[in-house]
Amino acid sequence: MKVLANDGVSQSGIDALEAAGYEVITTNVAQEQLQNYINDNEVSVLLVRSATKVRKDIIDNCPSLKIIGRGGVGMDNIDVEYAREKGLHVINTPAASSHSVAELVFGHFYGLARFLHDSNRNMPLEGDANFKGLKKAYAKGTELKGKTLGVLGFGRIGQATAKIALGAGMKVVAYDPFIEKANLELDFFDGQKVSFDIETISKEDVLRQADFITLHVPAQKDYVIDEKDFNLMKDGVILANAARGGVVNEVALVKAIESGKVARAALDVFEKEPKPEIQLLMNSSLSLTPHTGAATNEAQDRIGVELAEQIINIMSN
């Protein structure tokens, strides 16, 4: 039985599948050639990340296909309900990358709080000739300890991000229309555990209270953060979007930065991915990464193993 990991899969995932008797193909097939490739090679399982799209054309015209797997959380690049109506299994790995995304968010937050994103651009250019000027420019950093983190979307990734915030000494406020309360358990290196109960509040209250804001919501029709939402925020807030491109109005974000409402912001995802707007790429108040939230060795290992286990379980029943 053949598995096509079109956007790649970790070696640990390959090993687990091959040990169970599957042939794993890691060739990256172009979108327009994917349907023919699946049929010519009688592929039973198609694994994708965010690059490959699995729409009705593939679902309807690839009779050998039994499972579609998404290495990650969001499945907006797959016609999930249609596939399931046609009898295909659709799986993903919602827990595997939670901590890696959370750490990336805090990497951005710490960098933005101390202007690392900009000083790392300018020190190589001006560090010898304008050391004192740069020192003055980056002298008004802020600490995260004692500040309030607002989390929009309090599922697995939102909760993982909140745990890091609690460990850093921050207060956490959260909004989620489907979750009223969550118990967060922090595990420490010596086996000790500390638990926190977080009750969600309204989105408006989160925006008003937070010094730092992070989004962990699925792709949706409307912006989660638009101009009216920026107006509710504290002046000088720092914001991060490592969820999905299109949940933050990027034009409104740039305006909010220009007005001082938003001091600085981090984007790991973009409305026009993979070609972000040039005004974002050149904005010195933005800390940018190319959709690498889940791109750690540890997360990719967990994703590969979790996909393999689900595939083996489905096919053996």
d(CA 45, CA 66): 6
Q: What is the DSSP letter of 218?
A: -
Q: What is the DSSP letter of 234?
A: P
Q: Which of 50, 72, 12 is nearest to 297 (CA)?
A: 12
Closest CA to 59 of 41, 72, 40, 46: 46
Cα–Cα dist 90/67, whole Å: 6
Which residues are annotated as catalytic? 244, 273, 291
Instruction: Tokens for 173, please give them.
Output: 């406020």
User: Helix 156-167 vs helix 98-113: angle between axes, to the nearest 10 degrees?
Assistant: 50
Q: Compute φ and ψ for 49, nearest 5 degrees.
A: -110, -120
The tokens describing 226, both together, are 């638009």
Q: How far apart are alpha carbons 299 and 292 in whole angstroms?
A: 11
Strand order from edge to edge, sheet including 43-48:
23-25, 2-5, 43-48, 67-70, 89-92
